[in-house]
Structures are given as structure tokens and as C-alpha cells.
Structure 1
Amino acid sequence: MRFDELPRDWAQRPITDPDVFEGVVDLIVSEQTRSDGATYLLLCHPNGRLLQPICLPDEPSRVDVGQVLEGVRLLLTEVARHDVHDVVMVIARPGRATPTPRDRDLRAAFEGACRTTGFTLHAVAIAAPDAVAVLPAEGDCAAA
């Protein structure tokens, strides 16, 4: 789904609602960050509705998973001080939306960062220039 196909009530739905998830990610993640590479933390209300998107720029070819993880962990620790504990992560990068080993490593790192900071990770997506795709957990065939 593209952002221009979102239903009018998308903002009242949980971000992980399968009828709006990919469209919301498409709306938030810019074409520039898809070309350059970035990690998005989509902070959510306890009911799963979008609260605030945050973009952490990176260059997928140069920034390793450990550097991304450190930035995510620091940010989650700070946000938790404001009673926010629900998040969706998005990997914005060039190429196709087909998962790569780095994407899987990032998902595992996000899961670890969420565990150590008391966050619930509701979903992970890949936003490539031409598509948005859900990145399921290892062994999970279901979409968001």
C-alpha cells in the first residue's frame, strides 16, 4: 500500500493494523532516507497508534549494526523516561525490500535493545525506494 491509498481514519488505528501498516511507513519514510539509509523509531501510544516518528540517519554500507544499536538503545532509554514503551522500527535503505542478512541482524539488535530498555517492539519494516515490506521475526511467517 502506498501512502496515498491510506484510509481517512488511519491515524486512529494501531500502526500495525495490516490495512494501514505499509502505507503509514510509506508516508513517514522519505525518498531521501531510503536512498541514503536510516533507522526510524516510530514511537507509539499504548494502544499502538503512532505517537512520534524519529529518524536516525546511517549509511548501510558504512555503519555497522553495533553503531545503529547503540544509537537506538540510547534513544529508547531517554524516551522511556517519558513513559513511552511501544515502538515500531523501520530500516530505510537503497535496493530492494527483500530482507538481507544486515536487516535480520538489525532486527535482532532492535529486539535486544527493546528487551533491555523495557520496550515492546510491535513490528519491523524495510522501506526501500520502490516498496515497503514487513520484516518478520526469525521463524515467523506472519506479517505485522
Structure 2
Amino acid sequence: MKVCSYKGLSVVIMLRDEHCPPHAHVDAGAWSARFKFSFWHNGVELWDVVPLSHRPPVALLEGLRQSLRETDHLRRARWIWWTRLRTACLDNQWWDGQSNQVAVLREVASTSFRIGSAYYEPEENKTLLALVGAREGVEIEL
């Protein structure tokens, strides 16, 4: 499903055989790119471009990334991913309550809890985390 366009290129969420992490695709014919997004922060990053031999200019890739990062576009990408795939791709990762971010496994601290489940509320644009062993969950307003 189409999320947005930039300079005639469509940024889309594929719905067949899709996998974590959440990401969007751009297919330009000679090359394709994927951009990762998240249900716990508003950043977007370039994941990969194939083939490398036909990689487009950095400015075009950055423009695509910034377009997907726009509030309405990112919210639409999350909505498509969640409503079709029913995952925020956060289950069984670790949440660090001190830094308020997903922890890298080697950085898990005493303030970290395993994410038992994550639920995205599209209408409110927020993610709810149920943390294993914690007294309360986490509500992330995006």
C-alpha cells in the first residue's frame, strides 16, 4: 500500500510475506531501497539499497527518508503496518526504563524489562508496551 511519493517515486508498505523490522520500500526499476521506521520513536533510517552498482544520489535517498519521516506519512506507514501485519516488532526485545528506549542486548541493565507485548493505537498514534516483571507498562506518544 502506498504511503507517500517523493519526486515521482512511491514509498510503499508491502503486505505479502513481510517481516520485521517495520520498513517501507521504494522500487525505482534500476534500484530499490528499504527504509526502517519504528513504533517507539519517530526516526526513519535507510536500511539498504540494491543493487549497490545502481545506487541513486545520496540527496534522493535523503529526500525519500525525510518524506517518510513527515508526521502524516510516518503515521500512515505505521497504520498500514499495524492494521495489516498486527505487530509493532517489539515483542521479546528489552525496554530500558532509565533511558526510555529499546535496549541493545549487550546493554541490558537492571532498569531493563523484556517487552511481553506491544500494541499500537493508530487513532491516538501511541504504542503501549506490556513489560514482563514490571508493575506497569509503558505508553509511548509518537
Shorter-chain TM-score: which interval? under 0.3
Structure number, greater radius of gyration = 2
TM-score w.r.t. the length of structure 1 is 0.26
- Give the structure with the higher percent helix: 1
Considering fraction of residues, name the structure with more strand: 2
Q: Highest relative contact order (Cα 8 Å, sep 6+), 1 or 2?
A: 1
